[in-house]
Amino acid sequence: MDNKYVLSVLVENQPGVLSRVAGLFSRRGYNIDSFTAGETEDEGLTRMTIVLQGDSQVLEQIKKQLNKLIDVVDITELKPQEAVYRELALIKVKADESNRASILEVVDIFRGKVIDVANEHLTVEMTGDHNKVLAFIDMMRSYGIKEIVRTGLTALGRWSN
């Protein structure tokens, strides 16, 4: 049975690292469900959050292969009870005078943020766990979604250093 796993991979902030990590997955035929990366508090390091599906053998194989990459500093599996997960979505929704107030009400209920207003649409920023983002998107479908962009999952461990 396949499970979802979230890996936090700390790598040296060097050109080509992202390509090498992604290449490792593609060469072995593993799919990446979600991938986010960005500089950490240390300019020389980048933290990658990788979401993948597979069994425990797949997870262990990926960890072993990642550890072989010279630029990889640390790999941590982030289990739900030990981490904070978030996703960001920008959703452009059709909005006119007849439905703008009801859209704004739903945005408020979900604690979203309107970041752009035009005559024929609103752009909403929604941040939260995966299910919250999906629920908001489902609510917006009835108004008409023009565009969506999502970051994918990003996460931090709850441990203290």
Per-residue pLDDT band at 154 (split at 50, 70, 90): very high
Do 122 and 147 share a domain, yes or no? yes
Query: In the block, which residue shows the tokens 């796993």?
Result: 5
Which amino acid type is present at position 150? Answer: R
Domain end, chosen from 27, 58, 77, is at: 77
* pLDDT at 155 > cutoff 60: yes
Q: What is the pLDDT of residue 54?
A: 86
**Domain housing 89:** 84-157
* pLDDT at 153 > cutoff 60: yes
Which amino acid type is present at position 120? Answer: E
Output the pTM of the full model: 0.84
Do 57 and 96 share a domain, yes or no? no
What is the DSSP code (8-state) at residue 145?
Answer: E
Do 51 and 105 share a domain, yes or no? no
Domain end, chosen from 57, 77, 97, is at: 77
Do 63 and 90 share a domain, yes or no? no
Both structure tokens of 124: 């909403």
Do 70 and 91 share a domain, yes or no? no
Both structure tokens of 18: 């992202």
Number of domains in the chain: 2
Q: Summarize pLDDT for 92-147 with one digit per residue, the tens.
A: 999 999 999 999 999 999 999 999 999 999 999 999 999 999 999 999 999 999 99
Domain end, chosen from 47, 62, 77, is at: 77
Do 88 and 148 share a domain, yes or no? yes
Per residue, the 3-state secondary structure of 83-130, as one string, reads EEEEEEEEEEEECCCCCHHHHHHHHHHCCCEEEEECCCEEEEEEEECH
Look up the CATH number of the domain holding residue 66: 3.30.70.260
